[in-house]
Chains A and B, each alone.
Chain A
Amino acid sequence: MSQRSAGTLTLPWSTPSPKATKQVTFDHLLLIVTVTLALVGLVMVFSASAVVAGENKRFHDSWYFLKRQLAWLAFGLALLHVVSRIDYVWWKRLALPLLGLITVLLVLVLIPSVGVVVKGARRWLHLGPISIQPVEMVKLITVIYLAAYLAKKEDRIQSFRDGLMPAVAVVGLLSGLVLLEPDLGTIVVIGLVTAGMLFLGGARISHLFRLVPVALVAMAVLIWLSPYRWKRLLAFLDPEQDPTGSGFQIHQSLLAFGSGGLFGVGLGEGKQKLFFLPEAHTDFVLALMGEELGLVGTGVIILLFAVFAIRGFQIAARAQMPFGRYLGIGITLLIAAQAIINASVVTGLLPTKGLTLPFVSYGGSSLVMSLVGVGILLNISRDRQAGQEEMRQRSGRGGVRRQ
């Protein structure tokens, strides 16, 4: 019964999408939340980096980071606009080519003469004047691939070998490449989003649980292999023990939140960013906000992300095609999960990971890919039929099934 009804649900996207979709405007609230977060990010990036950029002889210009972030934001918003006008069905067709492309890029970045090492990790690829981080693209491409896969194999996903394993294998392969850089944080996000999407696609919960021990063992081996992760874990378990060593970042981050209190010390007045809070403009931007704007500021950010999540799910749920629903929820999961993990890391709930806060943190690749994700979501939000139109369609479909 369930399989048959799933079959009828595949009907709409095997025929061209109805013209009506073009007339539905995109979701304003989602765009407003996104732009608000990005603008708040711009302000905080400036507050955080004016010190660093002004101090550093190389950057010299205290507007350096602001200018760059502003340029990336403009580029990202332009891309968002374009993507929101591309029928999202295209992404289904592009899923496999994109998967191939990202695999090539991930391999390229590993080649010593091509990839650039920053802070011990080989993550950057220089393309002329700009540098990109392929890792930021991996996440979105994984989501697109999984959405396409789930939409196609919807009826077989309950089978462990035919449904679940092929997807897990592909994602595992990508993760393996990411791991070589190495970037554990991204893998955790990819893992969580993959699990979420497989769960949504109808995979048996018992099957999913079978993957947990595999993941745990893999993690254990990785930690055992590289001493710095072991140190980070120790530092996480007891940050007070050595405030100048590995626990330094987290400890300083907590001090920043604490000194901010309810209303913060005022924009630009934060002291932690001077020496104590490393990467205040990237990964730890929430801590900076905690110090300067207080609980009011951080609370608003978290609430904005929650609104984003709820709205993303609503948009996805209204999509006519299963691919749209999977894609929408996957993108929402990606951004929300990364926000939660980043916030958990900076508040000391999880070990340090090196993940940005979507839209807010400084970083071009991360910002642009998040905005592209939102662009796709906005296109999905056009693909719905309001009120009676939807009802009529449903009863129509019911008719088809009865025949």
Chain B
Amino acid sequence: MAGSLSRGRRYVLLLLLLCGFGVVLFRLVTLQVLQAAELSAQADRQHQKTVSLEGARGRIVDRHGKILAMNVEVQSVFGVPNTVDSPLKTARQLSPILHVRTDELERKLRQDRRFVWLARKLDPEQGRRLDRLSLDGIGVVMEGRRFYPKGPLLAHVLGFSGMDGEGLEGVEHRYEPYLHGEKRMMVLQRDALGHTVFPKGMMERSPTPGHSLTLTIDEVIQYIVERELEDAVSRARAKSGTMIVLDPKTGAVLAMAVSPRFDPNAVSALSPDRWRNRALTDAYEPGSTMKAMMAAAAIEERVVSPNTMVFGEHGRMTVANTVIHDHERLGWISFAQVIQKSSNIGAAKTGMALGEHRLYRYLQAFGFGQRTEIDLPGEGVGLVRDPKDWGRRSVASISIGQEIGVTPLQMVSAVAAIANNGMLMKPYVVSEIRDADNHIIRQVPPQTKRRVISPETARSVTKILEGVVTDGTGTNAAIPGFRVAGKTGTAQKIDPRTGAYSASRFVASFAGYAPAGNPQLAMIVVIDEPLGDTQGGAVAAPVFSRVGEQVLSYLGVPSDAPITLAMASRQ
């Protein structure tokens, strides 16, 4: 009897519980379906009282922690229209300070809204004048504004960020997910009387700032590079110039400059052309600098050795019904001299001996026709055609750096591969990412891409390239006290109107490394359309020399020839 009683009561209890769940479920349906529209509208009105502000962006510093990009707190001005007594009067007072038209301010202040931005990210001086006014219904909130304390320094690499704080170019763009800070919210509340809505007692969530970046760039080296490049470009009355300095052992970019420069603190007036990072976006015909890679391929494949004798055809050779010229009428010369004197005929002959397939394989191995995968946006691939599209002259042309488009970055990494005993490294500009508490989030180790040539080949190519500087076309690149290896390049540009090589427009370049025995720097200088003297050896090589001298001394690199120096100092 108790058993059945207990069972009956059990069912009663369970039924009560299920009724409870039923009631809750019914209530949920009421709230979430029947009253949903009304409640969500109410919630939306309430949410409009929150204003979102961007969080503080992370800093960008150079390899020694010197600040290149930072956030400063500046004032932004907003109005609370329904608390402004006289929109016209207020607008008139604000207009001269904010540099916004009176009628536009008045229109904003007459809107039926709780909150309206009037002007964002004021200059400090504007802020001070505004504070003195202390107007009713006008408020100020601090927002982060991006500031580049060094002005144009490294601007093409850094890029810049927009008004809403999003990175638009360069490192700022590429590392946006790390740099951007957490959005913060500002809540407008009622005051004690409950009728005005004014953000005097607003709650503000303290936002988490974005991560900061440490670059591989050295501010001092960058400064030297920019100064010398600007100087060279203006002296040569050239259209533009590009220079890159790599650490050949790691691929770390120590400096990267484009001339003319721009100031990332004031980009709005500039055309995109000015901030494009040509060092990696634009391809050019490299001309004779390409002979360095051709030489490396030919020696590695044992097609020639530095001492192999090559006949210079007395400065004139016909290939596929076209003529290849040399500056000098050369007879029998060694292959090393072919490179040192930059003989087109000797290089073309060697290239043809190498053959199109091997030549193409080495172009790819050196990284031409592919992105270097540097951590910067907008990188170009250059132009390397597939061998099946090559003409009869192509092998000869490519061997002397024609019929091929490369970016300055591709060329300098290829040269750096020879400097680095034949290992191609991936170039990079960001070495560390740290959070707001300075804890390391990510550390970027150097990345080896592949072995292009053997160390032995790299050594003999280096010897040849040293000859270019000691008694070849690149003597102006010499750095006192150091052995320098490198190659000049002077390429005719293709005239866009005629489609043929222009007689007056050139790209003068020099790519090389120093000290040759233990390379610390791999550098490229590219001067676009110099007037007057147009030779790479005359226009670009001196920049290489001046930058190299200052940077090696700044880095404290011991001289290659300590004995000579010691003797000199004794005298």
- Please list the residues of chain A having a beta carbon within 8 angstroms of any beta carbon in chain B: 1-3, 5-6, 9, 54-55, 57, 154, 196, 199-202, 244, 254-262, 271-272, 274-276, 290, 294-295, 298-299, 302-303, 305-306, 309-310, 313, 316-317, 325, 329, 333, 336-337, 340, 343-344, 347-349
Neighbouring B residues of A1 by C-beta, 8 Å: 1
Is there an interface contact between A271 and B43, defined as CB atoms closer than 8 Å? yes
| Alpha-carbon separation in the docked complex, A310 to B22 (Å) | 13
Is there an interface contact between A340 and B2, defined as CB atoms closer than 8 Å? no
Map CB proximity to A onto B462-488 as digits: 1 under 8 Å, 0 otherwise.
000000000000000000000000000
What residue of chain A has the Cβ atom nearest to residue B31's Cβ?
A: A257
What residue of chain A has the Cβ atom nearest to residue B45's Cβ?
A: A255
In B22-52, which residues have CB < 8 Å from any A CB? 23-25, 27-29, 31-33, 35-36, 38-40, 42-44, 46-47, 50
Is there an interface contact between A261 and B9, defined as CB atoms closer than 8 Å? no
**Other-chain contact of B40, A259, A276, A299, A336 (Cβ < 8 Å):** A259
Given A262-B32, A313-B10, 17 extra CB contacts under 8 A: A199-B13, A202-B5, A202-B6, A255-B46, A258-B36, A258-B43, A259-B44, A290-B31, A309-B17, A310-B18, A313-B13, A316-B10, A329-B13, A333-B13, A340-B24, A347-B27, A347-B31
Is there an interface contact between A310 and B24, defined as CB atoms closer than 8 Å? no
Q: List 11 A-B contacts (CB under 8 A).
A: A5-B2, A54-B182, A256-B43, A258-B35, A258-B39, A260-B36, A298-B32, A309-B17, A316-B10, A336-B20, A340-B17
| Alpha-carbon separation in the docked complex, A276 to B50 (Å) | 11
Task: Give chain B's interface residue range (CB within 8 Å of chain A).
Answer: 35 or more
A177 to chain B, nearest CB (A): 27
Is there an interface contact between B28 and A275, defined as CB atoms closer than 8 Å? no
B324 to chain A, nearest CB (A): 66
**Interface core residue of B2, B5, B50 (most chain A CB under 10 Å):** B2
What residue of chain A has the Cβ atom nearest to residue B13's Cβ?
A: A196
Is there an interface contact between A336 and B17, defined as CB atoms closer than 8 Å? yes
Q: Is chain B's interface secondary structure helix, strand, loop, or mixed overall?
A: helix
Is there an interface contact between A295 and B29, defined as CB atoms closer than 8 Å? yes
Is there an interface contact between B40 and A200, defined as CB atoms closer than 8 Å? no
| Alpha-carbon separation in the docked complex, A303 to B35 (Å) | 22
B392 to chain A, nearest CB (A): 63
Indicate if B187 sits at the interface (CB-CB under 8 A). yes
| Alpha-carbon separation in the docked complex, A309 to B21 (Å) | 10
Is there an interface contact between B13 and A337, defined as CB atoms closer than 8 Å? no
Is there an interface contact between B203 and A275, defined as CB atoms closer than 8 Å? yes
| Alpha-carbon separation in the docked complex, A271 to B45 (Å) | 12
Is there an interface contact between B50 and A274, defined as CB atoms closer than 8 Å? yes
Neighbouring B residues of A313 by C-beta, 8 Å: 10, 13-14
| Alpha-carbon separation in the docked complex, A347 to B194 (Å) | 26
What residue of chain B has the Cβ atom nearest to residue A342's Cβ?
A: B24
Indicate if B190 sits at the interface (CB-CB under 8 A). yes
Q: Is chain A's interface secondary structure helix, strand, loop, or mixed overall?
A: helix
Indicate if B3 sits at the interface (CB-CB under 8 A). yes
Is there an interface contact between A259 and B2, defined as CB atoms closer than 8 Å? no
Neighbouring A residues of B9 by C-beta, 8 Å: 199-200, 202
Neighbouring A residues of B27 by C-beta, 8 Å: 344, 347-349
Is there an interface contact between B3 and A275, defined as CB atoms closer than 8 Å? no
Indicate if B200 sits at the interface (CB-CB under 8 A). no
Indicate if B206 sits at the interface (CB-CB under 8 A). yes
| Alpha-carbon separation in the docked complex, A9 to B7 (Å) | 14
Is there an interface contact between A340 and B46, defined as CB atoms closer than 8 Å? no
Is there an interface contact between B32 and A271, defined as CB atoms closer than 8 Å? no
Is there an interface contact between A276 and B6, defined as CB atoms closer than 8 Å? no
| Alpha-carbon separation in the docked complex, A9 to B3 (Å) | 9
Neighbouring A residues of B47 by C-beta, 8 Å: 271
What residue of chain B has the Cβ atom nearest to residue A343's Cβ?
A: B24
What residue of chain B has the Cβ atom nearest to residue A243's Cβ?
A: B46
Indicate if B185 sits at the interface (CB-CB under 8 A). yes
| Alpha-carbon separation in the docked complex, A261 to B539 (Å) | 71
A235 to chain B, nearest CB (A): 16
Indicate if B195 sits at the interface (CB-CB under 8 A). no
| Also in contact, A306 and B2, with CB within 8 A (given A261-B32, A261-B33) | no
Neighbouring A residues of B42 by C-beta, 8 Å: 255, 258
**Other-chain contact of A302, B3, B5, B25, B36 (Cβ < 8 Å):** B25
**Interface core residue of A262, A299, A340, A349 (most chain B CB under 10 Å):** A340
Is there an interface contact between A275 and B17, defined as CB atoms closer than 8 Å? no
**Other-chain contact of A54, B16, B25, B203, B208 (Cβ < 8 Å):** B208
| Alpha-carbon separation in the docked complex, A54 to B32 (Å) | 30
Neighbouring B residues of A200 by C-beta, 8 Å: 6, 9-10, 13
B9 to chain A, nearest CB (A): 5
Indicate if B205 sits at the interface (CB-CB under 8 A). yes
| Alpha-carbon separation in the docked complex, A333 to B17 (Å) | 8
Is there an interface contact between A9 and B40, defined as CB atoms closer than 8 Å? no
Q: Which 10 residue pairs of A and B lie closest in terms of their CB atoms, listed nearest first?
A: A258-B39, A2-B1, A259-B40, A340-B20, A295-B32, A255-B43, A257-B31, A259-B43, A343-B24, A261-B36
Is there an interface contact between B31 and A254, defined as CB atoms closer than 8 Å? yes
| Alpha-carbon separation in the docked complex, A154 to B6 (Å) | 11
| Alpha-carbon separation in the docked complex, A188 to B9 (Å) | 21
Is there an interface contact between A55 and B31, defined as CB atoms closer than 8 Å? no
Is there an interface contact between B32 and A258, defined as CB atoms closer than 8 Å? yes
**Interface core residue of B23, B42, B43, B182 (most chain A CB under 10 Å):** B43
Neighbouring A residues of B20 by C-beta, 8 Å: 336-337, 340, 344
Is there an interface contact between B5 and A290, defined as CB atoms closer than 8 Å? no
Neighbouring B residues of A154 by C-beta, 8 Å: 2
Is there an interface contact between A306 and B50, defined as CB atoms closer than 8 Å? no
Is there an interface contact between A276 and B17, defined as CB atoms closer than 8 Å? no
| Alpha-carbon separation in the docked complex, A316 to B6 (Å) | 12
B437 to chain A, nearest CB (A): 8
**Interface core residue of B1, B38, B39, B50 (most chain A CB under 10 Å):** B39
Neighbouring B residues of A257 by C-beta, 8 Å: 28, 31-32, 39
Is there an interface contact between A258 and B31, defined as CB atoms closer than 8 Å? yes
| Alpha-carbon separation in the docked complex, A5 to B1 (Å) | 7
What residue of chain B has the Cβ atom nearest to residue A157's Cβ?
A: B2
Neighbouring B residues of A2 by C-beta, 8 Å: 1-2, 5
Neighbouring B residues of A256 by C-beta, 8 Å: 43
Neighbouring B residues of A290 by C-beta, 8 Å: 28, 31-32
Neighbouring A residues of B38 by C-beta, 8 Å: 258
Neighbouring A residues of B44 by C-beta, 8 Å: 259
Neighbouring B residues of A274 by C-beta, 8 Å: 50, 185, 205
